[in-house]
Structure 1
Amino acid sequence: MAAVSGPDLARFWSLLRDVPVSDDAEFLYGADAAGRLRTENLRRYLELIARNRPRVMLVGEAPGHRGHTISGISFTSVRQLTARPGLITGDPEGDGFRVPPEPAFGWEASSGVVWGAMASWRGPLPLFWPIFPHHPHEPGRPASNRTPRAAEVAAGAPVALALGEAFEIGTFVAVGRKAEAALARHGVPAVPVRHPAQGGARVFTRQLAELNAESTTAP
């Protein structure tokens, strides 16, 4: 049997490298040790997710300093990488992700909520990605988060769209209004769901379960 080729991610990686990053944001996939770890984890994540051909893509806002900024994977903190060896595949030997030797943070609330919702997800796991792919923070405070500016969202949106196109995503789920508005500006309809942060965990989980039920019962 011939091997099934994965998605062509060349354009995604090219666009990701070209996203401009201001002084109050951190470029996550650089050549330093932390950047190389994030890049390796992201490549591994995309490789594993591609095996099951995801139909749904969750598009968030921006990486948080406790999760994505450390792991390199959207909606994923160190706790998800270490609590269950086969996070994506279920393989008891693990999925091959790397963990920083001394991570500044080991847990993020939003990551816990998202992966908690995945525990009952039926069908291929969704693909995760933010509308702005790097870490926006308060000036001089890398261990903080700020809302991405309109210009940052506009610069990051083509990266998300290229990733969705490469995976031939059928359903985009906008986690928060910034992602929804950015996708709409590009003519991409998205199912809006509440962001799990700031008291939105219960609503987010319910909305995601309803979406999953609809997608698995559709003819």
Structure 2
Amino acid sequence: MSEFRDDSEFFNSLFELELDNVFNPYKHICGFHDVENSPYVRRQNIQLFFESARSAKVSTLWIGRDLGYRGGRRTGLPLTDEGNLNRLARVMNESRFRQATRGAIWPERTARVVWDMLAEINQPVFLWNVFPYHPHGPNSEMENRSHTSRERFITAGFLKYVLDTLKPDTIVSIGRDAHTAVNSIGYNCIPVRHPSYGGQTDFIGAIAKIYNLRLLAKKATQLDLF
């Protein structure tokens, strides 16, 4: 049973949590790239994504590890950078996603690989992270670190609520940490290698197998995604 009674309680908790060396994109303002209403835009983005996933009755969830400083920190959306907002809008049939930062768009490598695959699948998929914030080092916000076991424990209720609410038929865990976290709350998932650090070919091949995309499997050894 989830610790949150409804969406309102879920989102209020998600938006208000404070942790050391963690950027909460739904509450905090980045002094480098944000404007005053950036947290509000990111709140709208994640709520629209969740609502559109429910309306579309998504059957698949992809779970990553943390928000990255080039992706979800800026958009408020798991595994999605600003350059892929239009792809998200098309797949979810929702046109109201917005850029929350000023200046140039920053591409994120992981988001690019993920969205190249989602474009091939061309069906609604909900994306989430084990740790739904951007964990960073004590001396630099513009870096990524892995969340700690304590941070995972504190935020485990968010992941459970998403899974309990959307009730997917298939859960794809991207990377070892995501696989461990999903299993720890009682859900089965299909593990795939994370596309970073040379894992993009294995990631593409695994996704192709899950979705029975034969031509895509062949492309796994030909794409230069970076």
TM-score, shorter chain, exceeding 0.5: yes
Whole-Å separation in 1 of the counterparts to 2:88 and 2:60: 23
Instruction: Tell me how far 1:14 sits from its aligned partner.
Output: 4.2
CA change 1:87–1:199 in 2 (3 A) is: farther
Whole-Å separation in 2 of the counterparts to 1:20 and 1:85: 28
Whole-Å separation in 1 of the counterparts to 2:100 and 2:24: 17
Alignment map for 1:14-33 (pairs within 5 Å): 14-17=12-15, 19-22=17-20, 24-30=21-27, 33=37
1:113 is aligned with what amino acid? V
2:153 is aligned with what amino acid? A
Any conservation in 2 of the 1:70–1:103 contact (CA below 8 Å)?
Answer: no
TM-score, length-scaled by structure 1: 0.83
More moved, 96-105 vs 109-118 = 96-105
Any conservation in 2 of the 1:157–1:183 contact (CA below 8 Å)?
Answer: no
Instruction: Tell me how far 1:12 sits from its aligned partner.
Output: 2.9
Instruction: Tell me how far 1:31 sits from its aligned partner.
Output: 6.8
Whole-Å separation in 2 of the counterparts to 1:166 and 1:113: 27
Whole-Å separation in 1 of the counterparts to 2:43 and 2:107: 20
Any conservation in 2 of the 1:20–1:155 contact (CA below 8 Å)?
Answer: no
Secondary structure at the aligned position of 1:73 is classed as coil
2:151 is aligned with what amino acid? E
Whole-Å separation in 2 of the counterparts to 1:144 and 1:39: 22
2:58 is aligned with what amino acid? P
CA change 1:68–1:31 in 2 (3 A) is: closer
Alignment map for 1:20-169 (pairs within 5 Å): 20-22=18-20, 24-30=21-27, 33-82=37-86, 84=87, 86-89=89-92, 95-103=95-103, 105-121=105-121, 124-169=123-168
Any conservation in 1 of the 2:53–2:126 contact (CA below 8 Å)?
Answer: yes
Whole-Å separation in 2 of the counterparts to 1:85 and 1:52: 13
Instruction: Tell me how far 1:56 sits from its aligned partner.
Output: 1.0
Structure 1 gap segments, 5+ residues each: 1-7, 215-219
Cα distance per residue 1:58-114 (max 9 Å; x no partner): 1110000000110111111111125x5843346xxx711111352565210100000
CA change 1:136–1:180 in 2 (3 A) is: same
CA change 1:47–1:36 in 2 (3 A) is: same
Any conservation in 1 of the 2:38–2:101 contact (CA below 8 Å)?
Answer: no
Any conservation in 1 of the 2:136–2:142 contact (CA below 8 Å)?
Answer: yes
Structure 2 gap segments, 5+ residues each: 1-5, 30-36, 214-226
More moved, 161-170 vs 128-137 = 161-170
Whole-Å separation in 1 of the counterparts to 2:154 and 2:178: 12
Aligned length, in residue pairs: 201
TM-score, length-scaled by structure 2: 0.80
Secondary structure at the aligned position of 2:205 is classed as helix
Matched, 1:181 2:185: no
1:157 is aligned with what amino acid? A
Bigger relative contact order, structure 1 or 2, given CA contacts below 8 A and separation 6+? Answer: 1
1:169 is aligned with what amino acid? P
Whole-Å separation in 2 of the counterparts to 1:103 and 1:156: 31
Q: Percent identity?
A: 25
